[in-house]
Amino acid sequence: MSSIYVRGAFETMLMTLLAGLMLFLSGCAEDPRGRLNDIDTNNFGYLQLLREGRYEDAAIFIDYYVNPPRTGVYKDEILPATAAHGRVELVSKLVALGANVNFYLSPLHSAVYSGDVATVKYLLDHGANIEMDSHGETPLLYANRLGRDAVKQFLISKGANLNAKDMYGYSISEAQKSSEVRAKQAKISEQEWIARQKIYEQEEAVKNAEIAKKNQAIQAEWERLRNAPSTGEACDLACMNARGSADALKKMQDADNARRNRDSKADCVRSQGANAGFACR
């Protein structure tokens, strides 16, 4: 009875060991790092995953190569790029590992770029500076310029400063007015150009008609003289008429070219503004 009991216990232990070994081998075979065999284990590899939209693999990368930190992987530097993709699940992993939400490349501005309100909210909830200046713009000014209206309204609801100035000295309301003025000026300029173009085409039609009429007169005179008796007086008259007609045509063409140059320079000055002195010589 005792030997049967011992044998049964041994078999149970053996089965347990075999089951554990099978589980261990199964875990090794399914090591998720195998999905990253084509990726360098540094910042560039992680950014490649983001570019390719492999966000699940990016999460695996963070788990194995950012925590614990490895050589060539810097949490602070990859956080802005992650925020720019609007992946709050990856942003939260990096922030939990200690990534700086106020890193100088501004993860918050990157999140604004993505247009993902959830990512913006997460960063603000974890200490991101809502008034951080990046290249002359707060997140609110940046959202306004990009037309990220949902993010803009969310930032305003969180108390973003509406009077903050951008690099050109405009607040949001002033920037809006400035853009409206520029749009109106552009529309007026376009309408003026269309009107001037019509006038120009009409003038061109008149000029072309006058030139065609002159050419017809010259051709008729040429035909008449060619068929007339050849005398010295007739030849002198033909030469004089030909020279006079040629001079008249040249004057008309020169005047037309001068007018075209004036119009072209005026258009250049209007379009170039402050740079007209250099660009419209």
* Total number of domains in the chain: 2
Residue 5 lies in a domain: no
Quick: pLDDT tens for 244-274.
Answer: 666 666 676 777 777 777 777 676 666 655 5
> Is residue 165 domain-shared with residue 61, that is, in the same domain?
yes
Residue 25 lies in a domain: no
Residue 191 lies in a domain: yes
Averaged pLDDT for residues 63-81 = 80
Please state, in angstroms and rounded to a whole number, the distance separating the CA atoms of residues 100 and 261: 59
> Is residue 273 domain-shared with residue 196, that is, in the same domain?
yes
> Is residue 42 domain-shared with residue 166, that is, in the same domain?
yes
Residue 50 lies in a domain: yes
Q: How much is the pTM?
A: 0.53
Under the banding of pLDDT at 50, 70 and 90, the label for residue 27 is very low
Residue 253 lies in a domain: yes
Quick: pLDDT tens for 167-184.
Answer: 878 888 777 666 665 566
Residue 251 lies in a domain: yes
Which residues neighbour 3 within 8 Å (Cβ) at sequence distance 6 or greater? none
> Is residue 52 domain-shared with residue 167, that is, in the same domain?
yes
Which of 140, 174, 208 represents a domain boundary (last residue)?
174
Task: Please report which helix (H) or strand (E) contains residue 221, including its range.
Answer: helix 172-227
Quick: pLDDT tens for 109-164.
Answer: 999 999 999 999 999 999 999 999 888 889 999 998 888 999 999 999 999 999 99
Give residue 159's region: left, alpha or beta (phi > 0; psi -120 to 50).
Answer: left
> Is residue 96 domain-shared with residue 225, that is, in the same domain?
no
> Is residue 271 domain-shared with residue 187, that is, in the same domain?
yes
> Is residue 44 domain-shared with residue 82, that is, in the same domain?
yes
> Is residue 117 domain-shared with residue 194, that is, in the same domain?
no
Residue 23 lies in a domain: no
> Is residue 153 domain-shared with residue 247, that is, in the same domain?
no
Residue numbers of the domain that contains 201: 182-279
Which of 174, 204, 229 represents a domain boundary (last residue)?
174
> Is residue 94 domain-shared with residue 201, that is, in the same domain?
no
Which of 127, 150, 174 represents a domain boundary (last residue)?
174
The DSSP secondary structure of 191-209, one letter per residue, reads: HHHHHHHHHHHHHHHHHHH
> Is residue 67 domain-shared with residue 148, that is, in the same domain?
yes
> Is residue 263 domain-shared with residue 134, that is, in the same domain?
no
- Report DSSP state, residue 136: T
CATH number of domain containing 93: 1.25.40.20
Map residue 155 onto helix, strand or coil.
helix
